[in-house]
Amino acid sequence: MKGIRRLAEHLDISIGTVSRALNGKPDVNEETRRRVLEAAESLGYVANQSGRALRKGSTGVIAFMMQTGTEITGQGDTFFMSVFDGVQTVFARHKLDLMVLLCSSEEDPNDYLKRVVARGFADGIILSATRRHDKRFELLDRHKIPFITLGRSLSDVGQPWVDLDFEGMAETSIDRLVAHGHRHIAVTRPHDDMNLGYVFVDRCREALARHGLTLDDGHVFRSTPNQAGGYQIARDLLACKERPTAILLVNESITIGFYRGMEEAGLRPGKDIAVIGRKSPHSQFLSPRLTCFSLSLRDLGISLAESLLATMPAYASLYPNRPQRFLWPMELVAGESDEFTLG
Amino acid sequence: MKGIRRLAEHLDISIGTVSRALNGKPDVNEETRRRVLEAAESLGYVANQSGRALRKGSTGVIAFMMQTGTEITGQGDTFFMSVFDGVQTVFARHKLDLMVLLCSSEEDPNDYLKRVVARGFADGIILSATRRHDKRFELLDRHKIPFITLGRSLSDVGQPWVDLDFEGMAETSIDRLVAHGHRHIAVTRPHDDMNLGYVFVDRCREALARHGLTLDDGHVFRSTPNQAGGYQIARDLLACKERPTAILLVNESITIGFYRGMEEAGLRPGKDIAVIGRKSPHSQFLSPRLTCFSLSLRDLGISLAESLLATMPAYASLYPNRPQRFLWPMELVAGESDEFTLG
C-alpha cells in the first residue's frame, strides 16, 4: 500500500477527497486541504505517476530499446553509451528522462516490446538493432506510439529513421582497396539478421562489380559483435583455399580479436593483409593503427532525439524541418592497416 | 486516445462494460464479451499497464540506476553491461524486466530518483555509484520501495548491499608491493565523492602503516573513470618531486591511458614502475600484461538480483537465507606489470 491510499487511511478521509485536495480542486474545505498537504509532506507522499500518466496521457519518459546478451554486450559497449549521451543532452532541455530497455538476445524482441507497450510508460521509443524484417515497427504504429529507428529494415511503416551510411563505407573502401591493387577482398557481416549486414554486403558486391570483380561467397564472414567473433573471422580467413588480400570489418568491436588472430599466424595488418574497420575508443591504441571509418556517436544521439521529438505533437514546433530519414556519414581516417599495394 | 477508451468508443459501449468484459467478470453477456474481444483483437488493444499497476500494485519492472556522462561513459562501458547480463538471467525466471535509468552526471541523482519514484513504475530498484553520503537511500526507504545498493555509503537505512572487496584489494596489493621492496606507493581514487574512494584509500593507508610506511598525500591521484583520466594520472605522477615506484589503479577504465602516459615518458610498467590494476576486457591485450584484480561481473549481477528479490515479499520465499550485505571478492591475477623488485 502506498501513495494516496496510505494518505487517506492515515487521515481517515476518503481517497477521493484526498485526491481533490492534492489537485487543488475547489470543493474541499481549507482545513481539510491543510491537513492533507501537511500529511503528504510528513509521510513523504509523491504522486503516483501511473495515475498521472492515465489522466494526462504523457509520462515524461522516452525509452531506448537495445539488445544485450553475453555475445553482444558481454565485453561491454562502446557504441550506445555515447549515443545515449547525445540523446540525454536533447531530452534534458525538455525534462524528459531516457530509459534504456535491455532486451536479452535470448528473447524475442517483438514479445519484449509488446510488454513495454502494455506497460504504457513511454511517450516515445527509439528502436535499435533493426532486422531485415522487423515486426516491432508495425506494433508501435498500430498503438500510435511515436518512434524512430536507428537503422532501416524492409519493414516500413513510414516512421522516421537514422542509419549509418554503410553504403558509403562499402563504396569508399572497395574503391580504395581496388586502387591499391586488391582483387580478392573479404567482408564481414553480423551473425544474425541485422539489416545492416544485407545493406553492407550488397553494396560491397555492387562496388566490386563496377570494377569487374566479384565477391566470393566464401569471403563473406559472419561473426558475433565481439572480439571472440573477430578472432574467429581471422581463423576462418586463414582457412580459406584462396586467401583474400584485404578485409573490411563492418563492426567496431571485432578488430582487436581479428588483429590477435592475424598476429598468432604471423601476419601483420598493413603488410600481409589490408584491413579497414570502424573506429572505437580502443582502435587508436592498436598497432599498426587502424584505417577506419569514424563518426560522432554523441551527435548521432542528438540527431536521433531531435528527429523523434519532431514527430511528437508536444515538441514538433520546436524542431521544424527536421529531415525524417537520413544516412549518417562516416569519415575515413587513414591509418597503417591498409598501407600496402599489390603488384 | 488509446487503449480501452478507444475500444469503448469504437463499440459504443461504456468503458466500464468493456473493462469487465476484458477482465472476465461474470456480469457481461456473452454476445457483448465476444464483440469486445473481437474488437480488442482487430484494433490491437493491449491493456495499459499504468492502470494495471495502480490496481495490482506491481509493474513487473525492476530499475537499475547508473550514472552516465561524457567523462563517465563517454568511451563506453565495460562494467555494467556484464552486470546487467547477470541481473537479467535472474529476472527472466520471474518474467521481470530490467530497465536502466541513466542519470547524467550533470544532474543531481537525488532529484532524478525523486522523479523515478513519482512515476511509480518500478517494483524494485538497484542503485549504483553510491556516494560517501547518499540521500537516495532515505528517499527509497521512506517510500517503501524495495532496493539494494551496489556499493556502500555512510548513509545507511538498513538496506541490503553488495560491494566489491576494495579492502581486500588494498591489503593484498600493498603487502605484495612492500614484499617486493617498494616504499613509495601511489594510489588512485575517483574524482568525485564515490564511497569506494574513501574505503580504498583508507585501507591502503592502514596497510602501509602495518609495514611502518605512510601514504604521501601527494601520491593519492584523483581521476575521472576513463583513459584520459589514466593519462592525466601518469602526467601527475611524472611531475612528483619524489616519484613513487609503484601505483595501484582502482578503476579498470584508466589503465590504457596510464600505460600510454608512461610509454611517452619512456617508462615501462613492470620495469620502471610497478602497476597493479583491475581486469577489463582490454587488459589482456596490454603489453606488458597487467597484474590485476579480477571478478565475474555476471555472477555479481546474479547475486545483486537475487539479494534484491529476497527482500521483496512476492519472491522472498524463493530466495531464503540470502546474505543481505556482503563484499564481493576479487582475485589477483599475476601479470608482468609489477614484476620487479627494489634493492
Q: Which domains does chain A have, with CATH numbers?
A: 4-47 (1.10.260.40), 61-164+297-328 (3.40.50.2300), 166-295 (3.40.50.2300)
Closest-approach residue (CA) in chain B for A6:
B143
Question: Is residue A157 less than 8 Å (CB to CB) from chain B?
Answer: no
For A202, the grid coordinates are: 550488397
More confident residue, B37 or A322: A322
What confidence score (pLDDT) does residue B25 get?
A: 64
- Closest residue to A100, CB basis, from B100, B104, B118: B100
Q: Is A70 close to B61, i.e. CB distance below 8 A?
A: no
Question: Does residue B47 carry a pLDDT above 60?
Answer: no
In three-state secondary structure terms, B169 is helix
CA distance B332 to A203: 48
What confidence score (pLDDT) does residue A78 get?
A: 87
What confidence score (pLDDT) does residue A215 get?
A: 98
Question: Is residue B104 less than 8 Å (CB to CB) from chain A?
Answer: yes
CA-CA-CA-CA dihedral for A227, A233, A239, A245, to nearest 10: -120
Triad B31, B34, B39: Cα angle to 5°: 125
What confidence score (pLDDT) does residue B219 get?
A: 98
Q: Are the C-beta atoms of residues B298 and B86 closer than 8 Å to each other? A: yes
Question: Does residue B35 carry a pLDDT above 90?
Answer: no
Mean pLDDT of chain A: 89
What confidence score (pLDDT) does residue A56 get?
A: 52
The residue among A2, A52, A59, A85 with the most chain B CBs within 10 A of its CB, best to mutate, is: A85
Question: Does residue B48 carry a pLDDT above 60?
Answer: no
B264-270 long-range CB contacts below 8 Å, 24 or more apart? B264/B234, B265/B234, B265/B238, B267/B238, B269/B336, B269/B337, B269/B338, B270/B335, B270/B336, B270/B337, B270/B338, B270/B339, B270/B340
What confidence score (pLDDT) does residue A21 get?
A: 73
CA-CA-CA-CA dihedral for A313, A315, A320, A321, to nearest 10: -70
Helices (H), B57-214: 70-73, 80-93, 109-119, 136-142, 166-179, 195-210
On the CB side of A279, CA atoms within 13 Å amount to 16
Which phi and psi angles does A93 have, rounded to 5°? -60, -30
State the DSSP code for B180: T
Neighbour-count burial for B216-254, b at 16+ CB within 10 Å, e otherwise: beebbbebbbbbebbbbbbebbeeeeeebbbbbbbbbbb
Question: Is residue B110 less than 8 Å (CB to CB) from chain A?
Answer: no
In this structure, which amino acid lies at residue B321? N
Question: Does residue B227 carry a pLDDT above 70?
Answer: yes
In three-state secondary structure terms, A221 is strand
Q: Residues 219 to 248 of B: which have CB under 8 A from any A CB?
A: 227
Which phi and psi angles does A77 have, rounded to 5°? -140, 130
Q: Is A81 close to B76, i.e. CB distance below 8 A?
A: yes
Band (A52; pLDDT cuts 50, 70, 90): very low
More confident residue, B175 or A58: B175
Counting residues of chain B whose pLDDT is more than 70, the rounded percentage is 92
What confidence score (pLDDT) does residue B44 get?
A: 60
Task: Report how far apart, in Å, the C-alpha atoms of B314 and of each of A6, B95, B321, B341 are.
Answer: 20, 13, 15, 56
What residue has cell string 584491413? A275
Poorest-confidence range of B38-52, B101-115, B155-169, B246-260? B38-52
Q: Residues 120 to 139 of A: which have CB under 8 A from any B CB?
A: 120-121, 139
More confident residue, A252 or B75: A252
How far A325 CA lies from chain B's nearest CA (Å)? 26
Task: Report how far apart, in Å, the C-alpha atoms of B80 and of each of A93, A122, A263, A312, B205 are.
Answer: 27, 23, 30, 32, 29
Question: Does residue A231 carry a pLDDT above 50?
Answer: yes
More confident residue, A211 or B40: A211
Band (B24; pLDDT cuts 50, 70, 90): low
Q: Which residues of chain B have a CB within 8 Å of the CB of A53?
A: 50, 119
Question: Does residue B166 carry a pLDDT above 60?
Answer: yes
Question: Does residue B78 carry a pLDDT above 60?
Answer: yes
Closest-approach residue (CA) in chain B for A83:
B74
- pLDDT digits 0-9 by tens, A68-98: 988 888 788 889 999 999 999 999 899 899 9
What confidence score (pLDDT) does residue A115 get?
A: 87
Question: Is residue B85 less than 8 Å (CB to CB) from chain A?
Answer: yes
Q: Is B53 close to A50, i.e. CB distance below 8 A?
A: yes
Chain A to chain B, count of Cβ pairs less than 8 Å apart? 173
What confidence score (pLDDT) does residue B52 get?
A: 47
Q: Mention every residue, 6+ apart, whose C-beta is less than 8 A from residue B107.
A: A92
What confidence score (pLDDT) does residue A331 get?
A: 98
Poorest-confidence range of A154-163, B223-232, B275-284, B286-295? B275-284
What confidence score (pLDDT) does residue A54 get?
A: 44
Question: Does residue A106 carry a pLDDT above 60?
Answer: yes
What confidence score (pLDDT) does residue B304 get?
A: 97
Counting residues of chain A whose pLDDT is more than 70, the rounded percentage is 92
What confidence score (pLDDT) does residue B18 get?
A: 79
Question: Is residue A49 less than 8 Å (CB to CB) from chain B?
Answer: yes
What confidence score (pLDDT) does residue A57 get?
A: 61
Poorest-confidence range of A14-18, A111-115, B58-62? A14-18
Question: Does residue A55 carry a pLDDT above 50?
Answer: no
Poorest-confidence range of A166-170, A314-318, B33-37? B33-37
Counting residues of chain B whose pLDDT is more than 90, the rounded percentage is 68
Q: Is A78 close to B81, i.e. CB distance below 8 A?
A: no
Q: Is A54 close to B69, i.e. CB distance below 8 A?
A: no
Poorest-confidence range of B19-33, B144-158, B166-180, B227-241? B19-33
Give the mean pLDDT of B257-280: 95
Question: Does residue B55 carry a pLDDT above 50?
Answer: no
What confidence score (pLDDT) does residue B49 get?
A: 46
Question: Does residue B64 carry a pLDDT above 90?
Answer: yes
Q: What is the DSSP string of B35-54?
A: HHHHHHHHTT----HHHHHH
CA distance A151 to A64: 13
Q: Are the C-beta atoms of residues A195 and A132 closer than 8 Å to each other? A: yes
Question: Is residue B205 less than 8 Å (CB to CB) from chain A?
Answer: no
- pLDDT digits 0-9 by tens, A24-48: 566 778 778 778 777 776 665 655 5
For B311, the grid coordinates are: 527482500
Mean pLDDT of chain B: 89
Q: How far is CA A54 from the centre of its chain?
A: 29
Helices (H), A120-194: 136-142, 166-179
In this structure, which amino acid lies at residue A205? R
Q: Mention every residue, 6+ apart, whose C-beta is less than 8 A from residue A153.
A: A130, A131, A132, A133, A134, A137, A195
Which phi and psi angles does B208 have, rounded to 5°? -65, -40
Question: Is residue A76 less than 8 Å (CB to CB) from chain B?
Answer: yes
Least Cα distance to B201 among B148, B273, B251, B158 occurs for: B251
The angle that helices A109-119 and B49-56 make with each other, rounded to 10 degrees, is 70
Closest-approach residue (CA) in chain B for A227:
B281
How far A114 CA lies from chain B's nearest CA (Å)? 8
Band (A329; pLDDT cuts 50, 70, 90): very high
Q: Which residues of chain A have a CB within 8 Å of the CB of B81?
A: 68, 73-74, 76-77
